[in-house]
Structure 1
Amino acid sequence: MSSIKKLAGQTMWYGVSSIAARFINYLLTPYLTFKFSVAQYGEMSIVYAFIPFMNIVFTYGLETAFFRYSNTTDKNKVYNTTSVSLLISTLLFGFGMYLFQGPIARLLRIEEHVEYITLSIGIIALDALSTMAFAKLRLDGRPRKFALIKVAGILINVASVYFFLSVCPDIKAKNPDGFIGSFFDPEWAVGYSLLANLIQSAITLLLLSKEWLSFKWKFDTVLWKQMMRYSLPLIIVGFGGMINETLDRIMLNWWAPGGTEEATKEATGIYSACYKLAILISLSIQAFRMGAEPFFFKQAADGNAAKTYARVMKFFVITICFMFLGVALYLDIWKHFIRKPEMWVGLKVVPILLLANMFLGIYYNLSIWYKLTNKTMVGATITLIGAAITIIVNYLFIPHFSYMACAWATFLCYGTMMVLSFTWGQKAYPIPYAWKKLIAYIVIVVLLYLLHAAFTWIGLNNWFNHIFGTFLLFAFGWFILLVERKEFRQLPFIGKYLR
């Protein structure tokens, strides 16, 4: 249990940073949906769907390879080699993107704003250079500094966005011939959002300067080749993951019904805003991944590693079940974070996306088997199957069902990846997951949501709906305490009340 406590403690810090950062950033959703038109919000979403793809290319799986080889090789040698490799490749990839920024803008259907791609190159390059410094903090077990820098970066981003979109227009209105008034363009709102992100990435790298500059120009070619053989399949995993996570917004911009570019961008904006309401599940997944990846590799040598992984999975599934109910049962409250009521038409995708992200979180838990056994090509294969489902379902159904096709494609993709990873992994690296019980928990929360939806359909006052939702949430909590009483007794804080 001590190892799980350590993971929980580190995950709490990564969670604090992720939750605080994402929640602060999430508060931008009502602000940006108010400041931007629906089409502008869609345009911004398209750019931010493209950036993660290039993040995968720029980092090419080195982060996971760093954790993998730091446990078997001198970690300073590993850090030096990965840092040198990443610095050189970032310069090369960044220059290559700059040469082709025009075609990229046309591909994304934002050819009238090629400068968005220029700003994106800066963001991607700076984030790539920060990757190994953040990884070093995680490996060294320094989640507090990790958390503080992450939160500071988001606060800088929010402050910059507010300055560009609220302060600058007021200054221009009062003094149009002044310094700010002379260059500020109110129509360039999406550009200012990207510029704020670029400022955030630059200051984040500056705050990480101690870690980033601690590498030495020593490059081990033999070690690098070993790491590349391990990490290159992870590019496929990461790239396929981005296809599954963000390509739907780009495809929606291409094929959404409506016939006009304005209509497709509006559909993209609605879907992207509603997708943000699945944030709680996404937060728990991100926080868990930050703490779990180095933890799982360190735990691998322990004789009880498989049992530890199974227990971690159980706690994780219980947590995300509560988060599913916390969003799904109070969706009529969460929707007010989207300031434009015309976007609420897309709320029906939220429960589907919540379930899809639950599947994704479980998949990340399951994926440890192929990382531990060096079978990263298996992970690439599973991810490519998921990517194929995403592309095929979206291609066939977006022209008919718009963003609903995107939501169901995400659900089918992550569900399939979860099942494949479980069945494949149990043959190669058996882990005693309590899978029947965990499936039952997921089914129960879905049934509770459907029961609440049926109650809401009756048409009573919202207060009755909220009271009934709260009753269902507490009922599930009581049920979990009864079933898992023995497990929870061993936990700190909670355990003493159950003995």
Structure 2
Amino acid sequence: MLRKTIKELGLHSIIYSLGGFASVIASIILLPIYTRFLSRTDYGIIEVIDTIRAQLIVILLAGFVPAMAKFYNEANSEDKKRDVVGTSFWFIVVSGLVWIALLFLFDNALAEQFLTSAKFVVYIDLGIILLFIQAFLTTGESYLNIRKKSQLFLIASLSRLGLNIAANLYFIIVLRLQARGMLYGELLSSVIVGIVLVGYLAKTNGLRFRSRLLVNMLKFGLPFIPTTFSATLMHKADRLLLPRFTSLQDVGVYGLGYRFPFMLNSLLLDSFGRIWYASVMYEIAAQKDYQKIYAKVTTYFVTVYVVAQYLLIIMAPTIVRILAAPEYFQAWKVVQVIGIGMCFYSFHNFFVTGAFIKNKTWYLPVSHILAACINIALNWYLLPRYGYMAAAWNTVITYLVFSILNFFLFRKVYPIPFEFGRLGFLLGIGIGLVLINNALFLQNSILEFFKELVFSTILPLLLVFGPYLEHDEKESLAEELKKIHPALASFYTRLQQKSWIKKK
């Protein structure tokens, strides 16, 4: 049962991650172009607009994404499932119209407050329109997730990505619209794909509205407003405070460095979350040995995630040097610090399981609001003194405290025997190797690159051939390798038997 669950999670996560992988590759390829056609101020503006949208979409959606997944999975007939989706859709339509009408009344004030001048109001207006379109996209994507239509989700993601790239290149390079070009490109691609997704939803599900169901969904979903709003503040408050204490140029450098760990986060954590929160988490809860399965899924996913962030952290100087313009080079330090913070953050996805299974969503705002307050307080105090690197370290502290708070909040609500010994070993070894790598930093870029390659292999080898994996896990790994090619499994088994770590 455990292996079946892991395979299903892995299969859908891989399909979802293909869209994220394409997006990451596109971002990497286009980064040298963007950093040469967009100034650091342009990057700063985009970061601030994205931050404002991330905050407001939380209120607009009012927790209906997790509510739709919850009620859809618990519905005992196809008609009731259709009612859940239709009710969610109409609520988001009305909520979206109300919010964009209100926001347009205050667009000049928002520009002065967050972008330092009313002359930037056009960016605020574009962000408001994108907010409305984003709500429809999110609804359509959530519908595909709860129905496990990962292939259709991939097609939609790739289509949107292709349209976005083409539009961005035209608006930025040909028309020289700079930051406005980025927003125009996203708007065009989002409108086209959003219309298709809503059309698909209406055709396959219908758009029936049920007022009584709306009340029940609001009771479950409303706690996600302070929860997700605080989560977004926790992630992005530094982008709103940096212009106040430093400059939009610093926001640009910081935002670029922040982008790399979050691209990886989107590739892995978000892809996993789409299938985890939409269905698999609830399916595991119905199994007899659910506690063991939850614990193992946590260990396996966090291991993969930490190793991926470790590779990014180690290679950060070379990656930034190759992909970004020279004036952005110091962003590699931000990449490393945020990457460490993201490793701590990844734990919370499993610590909060009880909130969803036991309908304790009102517990969630506690950890999120406290973490957001800590992040804002630290940034308010330290940013004027130490600049944007203080924001990066504040993020690490915030994510660590956030995950710890969630663990203690839900450990009695829904006890899960997490394998903290193994995961602590993983984090300790990984951080230790990063510190050693940084202490040996080489000014020669070629030598630094080869040194980074050496360090990037150390942690994966220690995990695969050391004591980290249990005996049955090594056997399972060998079996999976055998399906790929028998010689590969044989080679792994021989290396394992000869491992100096094992002999020692």
Normalising by the residue count of structure 2, what TM-score does the alignment of the two structures yield?
Answer: 0.89
- Establish whether residue 218 from structure 1 lines up as the match of residue 208 from structure 2: yes
Q: Per the alignment, do residues 43 and 210 of structure 1 end up closer, same or farther by CA in structure 2, a change over 3 Å counting?
A: closer
Distance 2:417 2:394 in 1: 30
Q: Name stretches of at least 5 consecutive residues in structure 2 with no aligned partner.
A: 484-488, 494-504
The aligned residue for residue 480 of structure 2 is 493
Distance 1:402 1:458 in 2: 24
Match of 1:190 among 179, 204, 207: 179
Q: How does 1:106-185 map to 2 (within 5 A)?
A: 106-109=112-115, 110-168=117-175
The aligned residue for residue 319 of structure 2 is 334
Pick which of 412-421 and 109-118 moved more.
109-118
Distance 2:342 2:436 in 1: 21
Distance 1:436 1:482 in 2: 10
Distance 1:27 1:55 in 2: 29
The residue type paired with residue 53 of structure 1 is Q
User: Does the 8 Å contact 2:355/2:364 carry over to 1?
Assistant: yes
Q: Per the alignment, do residues 138 and 416 of structure 1 end up closer, same or farther by CA in structure 2, a change over 3 Å counting?
A: same
The aligned residue for residue 25 of structure 2 is 23
The aligned residue for residue 96 of structure 2 is 90
The aligned residue for residue 335 of structure 2 is 350
Distance 2:21 2:296 in 1: 23
User: How far has the Cα of 1:468 moved from its partner?
Assistant: 2.7
- Establish whether residue 432 from structure 1 lines up as the match of residue 417 from structure 2: yes
Match of 1:232 among 218, 222, 230: 222
The aligned residue for residue 9 of structure 2 is 7
Look up the SS of the partner of 2:148 in the other structure: coil
Distance 2:438 2:87 in 1: 54
Match of 1:475 among 442, 454, 461: 461
User: How far has the Cα of 1:156 moved from its partner?
Assistant: 0.9
User: How far has the Cα of 1:473 moved from its partner?
Assistant: 4.0
Q: How does 1:366-445 map to 2 (within 5 A)?
A: 366-445=351-430
Deviations 1:279-304 (A, max 9, x none): 32442111111121121023222222
Pick which of 440-449 and 317-326 moved more.
317-326
User: How far has the Cα of 1:457 moved from its partner?
Assistant: 5.4
Distance 1:427 1:440 in 2: 25
User: Does the 8 Å contact 2:307/2:460 carry over to 1?
Assistant: no
Look up the SS of the partner of 2:74 in the other structure: coil
The residue type paired with residue 56 of structure 1 is V
Q: What is the count of residue pairs matched by the alignment?
A: 474
Distance 1:64 1:240 in 2: 16
Distance 1:68 1:382 in 2: 21
Q: Per the alignment, do residues 467 and 68 of structure 1 end up closer, same or farther by CA in structure 2, a change over 3 Å counting?
A: closer
Pick which of 380-389 and 327-336 moved more.
327-336
User: How far has the Cα of 1:444 moved from its partner?
Assistant: 0.7
Distance 2:368 2:390 in 1: 19
The residue type paired with residue 194 of structure 1 is L
Q: Per the alignment, do residues 467 and 238 of structure 1 end up closer, same or farther by CA in structure 2, a change over 3 Å counting?
A: closer
Distance 1:480 1:290 in 2: 32
Match of 1:287 among 271, 283, 292: 271
Percent identity over the alignment? 22
User: Does the 8 Å contact 2:295/2:416 carry over to 1?
Assistant: yes
The aligned residue for residue 266 of structure 1 is 249
User: How far has the Cα of 1:338 moved from its partner?
Assistant: 4.4
Distance 2:359 2:482 in 1: 37
The aligned residue for residue 466 of structure 1 is 452
Q: Per the alignment, do residues 480 and 194 of structure 1 end up closer, same or farther by CA in structure 2, a change over 3 Å counting?
A: farther
User: How far has the Cα of 1:271 moved from its partner?
Assistant: 0.3
Q: Per the alignment, do residues 130 and 470 of structure 1 end up closer, same or farther by CA in structure 2, a change over 3 Å counting?
A: closer
User: Does the 8 Å contact 1:52/1:242 carry over to 2?
Assistant: yes
Match of 2:258 among 264, 275, 281: 275
Distance 1:133 1:397 in 2: 41
Q: Per the alignment, do residues 152 and 24 of structure 1 end up closer, same or farther by CA in structure 2, a change over 3 Å counting?
A: same
- Establish whether residue 241 from structure 1 lines up as the match of residue 231 from structure 2: yes
The residue type paired with residue 214 of structure 2 is W
User: Does the 8 Å contact 2:315/2:453 carry over to 1?
Assistant: no
Match of 1:206 among 195, 201, 212: 195
The residue type paired with residue 415 of structure 2 is P
- Establish whether residue 316 from structure 1 lines up as the match of residue 316 from structure 2: no
The residue type paired with residue 12 of structure 1 is I
The aligned residue for residue 103 of structure 1 is 109
Distance 1:336 1:155 in 2: 26
Measured on the aligned residues, the alpha-carbon RMSD in Å equals 2.1
